Chains A and B, each alone.
Chain A
Amino acid sequence: SQKIEQNSEALNIQEGKTATLTCNYTNYSPAYLQWYRQDPGRGPVFLLLIRENEKEKRKERLKVTFDTTLKQSLFHITASQPADSATYLCALDTGTASKLTFGTGTRLQVTL
């Protein structure tokens, strides 16, 4: 069956460290993969999009990698800050329908 997996356990890291979140998928061949940030009770906010022919993409302190062989995307936040605490969702196109499918998200907690 098709599946998108994100670590359901919260990731706790110290301020200033690099946070790395993982998105694994099976039985999909996405052309696009996106990452969103969601704060409690609010709508997701787009962060980055990476295409299948791109290995890595950066935006300020954010970096996304996309390995279509491993079927995995890694999302990095460098020099993390308490304001980065949120849930991070990955989303990808299913390849067969005009829609995105979202993972369940990983909650990041950055402490002082």
Chain B
Amino acid sequence: EAQVTQNPRYLITVTGKKLTVTCSQNMNHEYMSWYRQDPGLGLRQIYYSMNVEVTDKGDVPEGYKVSRKEKRNFPLILESPSPNQTSLYFCASSLDPYNEQFFGPGTRLTVL
């Protein structure tokens, strides 16, 4: 089954404790991206990757890092999480930036 998986699905953590949210896709897609979704602000792109070892900033990259060492995986790293990073996070993949995006199930992050 074609899918994008994210882990964990739910996470409560404290300020400053480094965390990683994993994202994996099994569709051999070259393009992957991370979004955060907040009430009233909609989906905002954090980072995207056009291919292995190629990443670039989206609209709200501050406080986040990503890596793309393999085509299927695109982890999101929060080196020092802060409460304003409490949000619902989605990973997505597609053949290219302009075609159908396949979204993961989401990770609900709470930073205390």
Contact = CB atoms under 8 A, between A and B. Distances in A.
Interface string B29-54: 00101010000111111001010000
Contacts of B33: 99
Contacts of B106: 41-43
A43 B42 contact: no
A42 B105 contact: yes
Contacts, number: 59
B101 A100 contact: yes
Contacts of A34: 100-101
Contacts of B104: 43
Nearest to B31: A98
Given A31-B98, A102-B43, A43 B103 contact: yes
Given A42-B105, A43-B106, A100 B98 contact: yes
Interface string B53-95: 0001011000000000000000000000000000010101000
Interface in A18-51: 31-32, 34, 36, 41-46, 49
A104 B44 CA distance: 9
A68 to B, nearest CB: 16
A105 B37 CA distance: 11
A44 B50 contact: no
A93 B106 CA distance: 22
Given A43-B90, A98-B56, A104 B99 contact: no
B98 A32 contact: yes
Given A41-B106, A42-B106, A43-B90, A99 B100 contact: no
Interface in A63-102: 89, 91, 93, 98-102
Contacts of B105: 42-43
Interface of A: 8, 31-32, 34, 36, 41-46, 49, 89, 91, 93, 98-105
